[in-house]
Amino acid sequence: MSKRHGIIVVDDHPLVRKGIAQLLAMDARLTLVGEACDHAEAVAVIAAHKPALVLLDLNLAGRSGLDTLRAIRRESSGTRILVLTVSDAEEDLVAALKGGAAGYLLKDMEPEEILRDIHRALAGETVLSPRLANTLAGVLRRPRHPVAEGAPVVTDRERQIIRYVALGRSNKLVARELGIAEGTVKVHIKRLLRKLHLRSRVDIAVWAVDHGYRGETPSARMPATPPHDVAAGAPVRGTDKGLPE
């Protein structure tokens, strides 16, 4: 009998954890040995079970999943960590890989693709959602420029979001225009509010005008990838909400 690899899922949405548990149950070589919904629980459960791999969401309640990633790497260096999230932000991708993640997957991937990449990560490979390959390539090709001390760095995707918010677009419309999940738009806006030290979408719109975004048309739409339900593998239709953040 082949060895079964222990997996722990860290995500603050019970529905997502249940969907991933059902997905793992489809593969006899994988076994779910624990779940966690936040940073503290994740560190404790992983220390107790010492799994082969952790599936980690970056958007945990109360504390960044990047903090959890770093803590796992310190306390359980033999455990592989695979980020599974809705965030396609360049800065999250780079920070996760620099922090020691074995890969970075988006929740809109097909279930079969996620299972395949889990096994690739367990085999020692670094895995990446296909539509993030160009993002990473762009980071590697980009010349390094000095940034003024204390100045917030706004990514290309965040600039697109800012322009749409300045035009008064709803999250649903922004998601449709950019071909991403509505939950991903929410993640970007939350990050922008923290990064720019703002409180609301109105503040973002004012900031956009103050920084020269007035009248600009957002960049052309990127190729759309319909969101999928991790548990069922079916495209999400009607609500346009995708998976939880």
Query: Could you state, in order of their start, the residue ranges of all structural domains in the chain?
Result: 5-136, 148-245
From 177, 91, 180, 173, select the one nearest 131 (Cα to Cα). 180
Percent of the chain's residues with pLDDT above 70? 80
Q: What is the pLDDT of residue 168?
A: 73
Q: What is the pLDDT of residue 204?
A: 85
Residues 6+ apart with CB under 8 A from 121: 53, 80, 82, 102, 103, 127
Domain 5-136 superfamily per CATH: Response regulator (3.40.50.2300)
pTM for this structure?
0.63
Q: What is the pLDDT of residue 151?
A: 61
Predicted confidence band of residue 150 (pLDDT cuts 50, 70, 90): low
Q: What is the pLDDT of residue 37?
A: 95
- The CA distance from 31 to 218, in Å, is 45
From 163, 69, 85, 167, select the one nearest 128 (Cα to Cα). 85
Q: What is the pLDDT of residue 38?
A: 93
Predicted confidence band of residue 104 (pLDDT cuts 50, 70, 90): very high
What token pair was written down for 107? 């929740």
What token pair was written down for 100? 């020691």
Q: Which fold has domain 148-245?
A: Arc Repressor Mutant, subunit A (1.10.10)
Q: What is the pLDDT of residue 238?
A: 36
Q: Report the Cα–Cα distance between both ends of the chain, in Å, rounded.
A: 38
Q: What is the pLDDT of residue 2?
A: 67
Orientation of helix 14-25 relative to helix 111-122, angle to 10°: 70
Using one digit for the tens of pLDDT, what is the confidence trace for 162-191? 888 877 788 899 999 999 999 999 999 999
pLDDT at 61 exceeding the cut of 60: yes
Predicted confidence band of residue 154 (pLDDT cuts 50, 70, 90): confident
Looking at 9-18, 66-75, 123-132, 142-151, which range is the least confident one?
142-151
Q: Which residue has the higher pLDDT, 89 or 28?
A: 28
Q: Same CATH topology for 5-136 and 148-245?
A: no
Mean pLDDT across 59-68? 88
Q: What is the pLDDT of residue 1?
A: 52
pLDDT at 193 exceeding the cut of 80: yes
What are the phi and psi torsion angles at 62 (to 5°)? 90, -25
On average, the pLDDT of the chain sits at: 82
- The CA distance from 51 to 216, in Å, is 49
